[in-house]
Amino acid sequence: MFTMKSMFCLRSKATIALAIAGLISLGVLALVPDTVQAQGQSPASPATSARALLDGYVTEALSANLAIAQQNAAMRRANATVREANGRFLPTVGVNARYSEFSGVVNIGDFINPAYSALNQLIGQERFPTNVAATLPFRQETKLEMSVPLYNDALFGARAASRAQRDLVGSGRAAAMRQLAADIQQAWLGYATTVRAVETLEATLPVLDENVRVSERLIANGQATPDVLLRARAERSELLQQIAETTRQRDAARRGFNLLRNAPDDAAVQLANDSTLLAVALQDRDVLIAHAMQRREAVAQTGALIDLARAQERVAGAAFLPNVALAASYGVQGDRYRFNRNNDVALASVVLGWNVFNGTQDAARREQAQASRSEAEYRKRETERAVRVEVQNALDAVNAAQSSLATANDRLAAAQRAFTLVQRRYAEGLATQIEFLSARSAYTNAALNQVITQFTVATRVVDLERAAALRALPN
């Protein structure tokens, strides 16, 4: 039989429960605000879509990332190597000069001067010089030299090798850029996920604070036992622990994101709540695989390895062919500098070189190059299979994530309805505090799961974009 006091107590509990339920409903429903302003965040313009925001961050990272800067330097070095290989086909011109002081060398004049003196005495005239001074080598020799290859097959192989090496470096640079584009997007999505999770948990904290305060009041009025307060405090402590851990993850995600774009650790990161993250137009599986085969840098790298092996094979095979070069020089030589026709020296030569036998070393080098080419061809086939599997797995992951999102939405809707029912029963005194808190926890977990699943879909789309090489990269 109900008394007035028991009815009053029941009504008080119902009023308190309704207040708690209202606070929880307001807190949990505010999961993904349109504009966020928190530590390390900057608000997004309503007109700024998440896709445009991500593209802007990708462009910024590609121009500022230090790893990409290293790749750019490697590309400049590879281009210089190609120019060096091309330069070997052009003439080389140089000036060589020598002036020497001798001691103990033979002077030809010591043999010629006595003979000339005897001849002068015989003919009675000073017709022959008797002061000839000539040493070998000459005291000075200055000449302008030029050489140009006429035929050298090794130069063609070296040029092809430098071009293949440049293509290999360029493919590596493009692969690093594509990976960075995926990393920067996933880092942003990871940071946004933790931000939304912190907001969701913090929105629930006032509810549990109020639950603790109400439990203390009920115990003070003799309307509840101490275990009610203990459960309320335990629930609040668990939430504070989750907030602390999620906040740590949020700050770490922000620092990791700023590291990729070479920005200060505490630089603000702009967020956007845009449904375009989930609006994905998936292409046919075969179309994606074909696109990946044409655009993926891993496939291009194996092609460059094959070209490099072929060039090395040509260089090794050039050892069996003759080399022909033209050499020419012009200058002056003698005991002192005299610039006249009597002291000019000119020389032109055609030089032929042919290695007849080298102890089978050349044959061994050519065999090594052939084996390297076979290895590169096998690697290309393996890479193509790996890319095909990677695209298929990425596409399946997107489809699975989209299905999971539908399930997460259903879970959130079901948890919300269940919480509403328990809220009403708790307001009427027909549900215990444990049931109420359990429904609240299930509702919050469902909301967190829905947020995480939304960003997981976007992350899987980024994986597919990288696997199928859908993003156009700058040159």
What is the model's pLDDT at position 291? Answer: 93
What is the model's pLDDT at position 13? Answer: 41
What are the respective helix, strand and coil percentages of the chain, to the nearest 5? Answer: 70, 10, 20
φ, ψ of residue 65 in degrees (nearest 5): -65, 135
| Closest by Cα among 440, 442, 447, 458 to 408 | 447
Task: Classify residue 43 by its DSSP letter.
Answer: P
Burial environment of residue 158 by CB neighbours within 10 A (0 to 12, 13 to 18, 19 or more) = buried
On whether residue 171 sits in a domain, the answer given is yes
Are 253 and 191 within 8 A, CB to CB? yes
- Supply the DSSP string of 84-153, one letter for each residue: HHHHTTS-EEEEEEEE---SSPPBTHHHHHHHHHHHHHHHTS--S-S----BSS-SEEEEEEEEEEEE-H
What are the average pLDDT values for consecutive 10-residue runs of the chain, which has 475 residues? 34 39 39 38 53 90 92 95 95 91 77 86 85 77 92 94 95 94 94 91 85 83 83 89 94 95 91 67 88 94 95 91 93 80 85 86 90 95 96 94 91 91 80 81 89 90 93 87
On whether residue 79 sits in a domain, the answer given is yes
What is the model's pLDDT at position 11? Answer: 35
On whether residue 150 sits in a domain, the answer given is no
Q: Which domain holds residue 461?
A: 4-99+164-323+361-467
On whether residue 265 sits in a domain, the answer given is yes
What is the model's pLDDT at position 40? Answer: 52
Q: Alpha carbon 316 to chain centroid distance?
A: 35
φ, ψ of residue 142 in degrees (nearest 5): -130, 125
pTM of the model: 0.76
On whether residue 21 sits in a domain, the answer given is yes
What is the model's pLDDT at position 21? Answer: 40
421: tokens are 């029912």
Run of H or E residues at 352: strand 344-353
**Distance in Å from the first CA to the final CA of the chain:** 84
On whether residue 141 sits in a domain, the answer given is no
φ, ψ of residue 107 in degrees (nearest 5): -100, 120
- Domain at 408, CATH number: 1.20.1600.10
> Whole-angstrom Cα distance, residue 220 to residue 228?
12
Backbone φ/ψ region at 52: left (φ over 0), alpha (ψ -120 to 50), beta:
alpha
Run of H or E residues at 431: none
Q: How many domains does the chain have?
A: 1
On whether residue 26 sits in a domain, the answer given is yes
| Closest by Cα among 302, 305, 193, 210 to 249 | 193
3-state secondary structure of 336: coil
CA gyration radius, the chain: 42
On whether residue 131 sits in a domain, the answer given is no
Are 462 and 446 within 8 A, CB to CB? no
From residue 405, how far is each of 280, 454, 457 by CA, in Å? 13, 6, 8
Residue with tokens 């070479």: 262
State yes or no: cis peptide before 322, omega within 30 of 0: no
Query: What pairs with residue 351 in β-bridges?
Result: 325
250: tokens are 């949020």
> Whole-angstrom Cα distance, residue 446 to residue 235?
17
Query: What pairs with residue 353 in β-bridges?
Result: 323
> Whole-angstrom Cα distance, residue 221 to residue 13?
12
φ, ψ of residue 429 in degrees (nearest 5): 80, 15
> Whole-angstrom Cα distance, residue 15 to residue 426?
10
How crowded is residue 84: how many other Cβ atoms within 10 Å of its Cβ? Answer: 12
From residue 17, how far is each of 22, 200, 393 by CA, in Å? 8, 21, 48
